[in-house]
Amino acid sequence: MSNLSISEENYLKAIFHLYKPGEGIGTNAIARHLDTKPASVTEMLKKLADKKLLTYEKYQGVIPTRKGFTLALVVIRKHRLWEYFLVEKLKLKWDEVHEIAEQLEHIQSDLLVEQLDAFLGFPKLDPHGDPIPDKEGKMCAMNCCCVSEIKPNSNARIFGVKNHTSAFLKHLEKLNLTIGKTFTLVNRNDFDQSVELVLNKQTMHISKEVAENILVEKLK
């Protein structure tokens, strides 16, 4: 029964999201992700290392332990379940839920989480296409890639987003690029990496930045 503070939970989650097999996670990257200062991060890393949630060696970059991964997944599970609740039950828009879930994810009660999960019908994906870990921390494998990675003349269905800011999501909504929509990638412009695609027989252009933040599954 590891009782973590809200700050500790946010650090664990950030570290989880920044983790890539093989590489240690840098102090600066964590500070950037949490909008805080590197000096503050160093302090917290020592505390989390004391609690055996990650391995810390000066200047080496940090790697979460099994326990660290597990606890991060619990927070992520709660975040995504609450987002699902807010959109499906309370009828909030997909761009309105992230900030609220950022608070709700820290509510402490195992009973609450399990009952919420059941009430929602054990959803597998959150409103942004991200998989929701189950009670054991398992989540469905994702077979998707960025729009910026698919080839011209291929069809794709929008699966999710990588950027969760309200500004980006509202922009997508305006472009009618929401989850489930299918389109054909017609062409990629070499000089600015912008992408030309056809959606509902309408041709449209999206910037490199947008293309990098939309996740799709390829269609045959």
Partner DNA sequence: ATTTTTTTTTAGGTGCGACTAAATTATATT
Partner DNA sequence: AATATAATTTAGTCGCACCTAAAAAAAAAT
What residues make contact with a second copy under the rule CB under 8 A?
86, 89-92, 96, 99-100, 103-104, 107-109, 111-112, 115-116, 119
Tell me whether residue 47 or residue 205 sits nearer to Mn ion (CB atom): 47
Among 16, 33, 61, 104, indicate the residue that binds DNA (CB under 7 A): 61
In the complex, minimum distance from the CB of residue 112 to a second copy, in angstroms, rounded to a whole number? 5
- Per-residue tokens: 194: 């912008």
What φ, ψ does residue 158 adopt, rounded to 5°?
Answer: -70, 125
Report if residue 123 touches DNA, rule: CB under 7 A. no
Residue 179 binds which of Mn ion, DNA, a second copy, none (CB < 5-8 A, kind-dependent)? none
State the burial class of residue 57 (Cβ atoms within 10 Å of its Cβ: 0-12, 13-18, 19+).
exposed
Among 16, 56, 69, 168, indicate the residue that binds DNA (CB under 7 A): 56
Report if residue 40 touches DNA, rule: CB under 7 A. yes
Whether 105 contacts 48, CB under 8 Å: no
Q: At 34, which amino acid appears?
A: L
- Per-residue tokens: 10: 């946010």
Q: Does residue 136 come out as left (phi exceeding 0), alpha (psi in the -120 to 50 range) or beta?
A: alpha
Binding site for Mn ion (CB under 5 A): 10, 83, 102, 126, 128, 130
